[in-house]
A and B are shown apart, each in its own frame.
Chain A
Amino acid sequence: MMAILPLFKTAYYDIKRSRLYQVLLLFVFFMLASSNVFTFFTRGEEIKIIKDFGLMAINLFGILFILFGLSRHLPREIEDKTIYTILTNPATRTHILIANLCAYLYALLIGFLIMTAIFYGILYLKEGGLDPLMAKGIILIYMKVLVFSTLVLFFSVVFSPLITIAFSLFLYIAGHLTNYLSSLADQKNFLGWSLLKGLYTILPNFENFNCSGSLVLGTDVSWRYIGLTGIYSFLYGMVLFLLTCILFKRREI
């Protein structure tokens, strides 16, 4: 287990200096800063637009960072063969996966904290106060990206970055439609019902985390709901991560 910390530190150092991370942070910073511009189109709803835009920008940062960063991280280690030198030291493949995932989630957390500060700064200038509901929205987005990260990592141990990106993106969209799948299943015969219900059970339900719309409108989400969603994201992520470890242990590098 002592190998995880140096692996984590090196992976985080690599992420921090990566162009993707820096460019995305900068991009979202400009998005947040320019959110004011869009309020011209909807007079009277400036605050709502800024909040909506802010949460969307943070979500976009998380998804793009994980999609284009994590999908390439492990394949690059395998392609550059740096993994050989690591594995001939007291480190296992599972250590590498844990360290990489934690490094990405940590970099994500730092990114989210920076963006939250900017977001609240803008809101404070506009509203003259700090809306606690936005923090709840950001926490839910972080949980969603956590599940998405384990999904991307899972594909990245088997497939090339391009296929990983395609599959992850497909499941990200499908994960937002799982409630639709469930209601569709009720209208089908047994075979169709089993297939759709099976998909509904297996696919991550990203709609659970999608409370931005109501939070922007001022409808509160209870801490109990956030806690339960947190447990869901942790358990889903954990199961997927364990599967990833099993797959990676057997993979030829």
Chain B
Amino acid sequence: MPIIKTENLTKVYKDFWGRPKTRALSGLNLEIHKGEIFGLLGPNGSGKTTALKLMLGLIFPTTGNVSVMGKPPRDINLKSKIGFMPEESYLYRFLNASETLRFYGQLLGLKGKELNNRVDRVLNIVGLDRVRTQPLREYSKGMSRRMGLAQVLLKEPEICVLDEPTIGLDPIGAGEIKDIIQELKNKGTTVLFSTHILSEAEPLCDRIGILYEGRLIAMGALTDILEVKDEVEVVKTRETLEEFYIRTIKNRDTSHFSK
């Protein structure tokens, strides 16, 4: 059974009067399996963040269904099993790192020694232990991203949803985040992340899906989709993810214009 499943998922954003404004996602059918790293790729504005928000139950689908571990995404019992790192760190800027993690720990029902131990451990993992008493408003973008990740790791989640996890980070910071993602996979955590930086998706992902103008235009295991076959289905070469991505989107554009 897939751990996350979407069926014909469509999202149309409406204005205050309920008139349709933007079709962000059209008929998304996706299955994400336990323990895999799934990369949701696509250019800016392709509907990646909308898809993630729908899977987290933050916004409502216009049509279609989402299920996470067989339950609707807004089920409160699911929330402690899913970690979400948004594309920007949406945390209270007046709290410091320690207070922030204690706050989220308390939301999870953690207390006492267990809470303290988890806060200490997570701050060590993301390398913010030395600045734990500094308010978040004084953090650099990179530090804020680490803090966002710390909030996810605190949960010890079964599913991690990461929206553009390395955006705004220097190469060292991005590398560290990629190591953490790999470590999560090794522990059996399912990781779903969105990105438009292909070089970070290729070494990490088991499977990818490419979204373009709200539609899923390609999906599969990296090993399968990067193989270029000739007419008699004999493997000739192997594309890079970047080559595959550009070819798929260009084909889509051509077919779109020819209509």
The interface of chain A, by Cβ under 8 A from chain B, is 2-3, 5-7, 9-10, 13-14, 17, 80-92, 252-253
Contact = CB atoms under 8 A, between A and B. Distances in A.
Contacts of A3: 107
Q: How extensive is the interface on chain B, given as a class? A: 20 to 34
B80 A89 contact: yes
B58 A10 contact: no
Contact of A85 (B57, B76, B151): B151
A93 to B, nearest CB: 10
A18 B160 CA distance: 34
Contacts of A5: 106
A91 B107 CA distance: 7
Contacts of B109: 2, 90
A161 to B, nearest CB: 15
Given A10-B103, A88-B56, A253-B59, A81 B79 contact: no
Interface in B72-111: 76-77, 79-80, 82-84, 86, 88, 90-92, 94-95, 103-104, 106-109
Contacts, number: 71
A84 B92 contact: no
A10 B95 contact: yes
Interface in B21-56: 53, 56
Nearest to A7: B107
B59 A89 contact: no
B90 A80 contact: yes
B94 A88 contact: no
A246 to B, nearest CB: 15
Contact of A89 (B92, B104, B161): B104
Contacts of B95: 10, 13
A252 B14 CA distance: 9
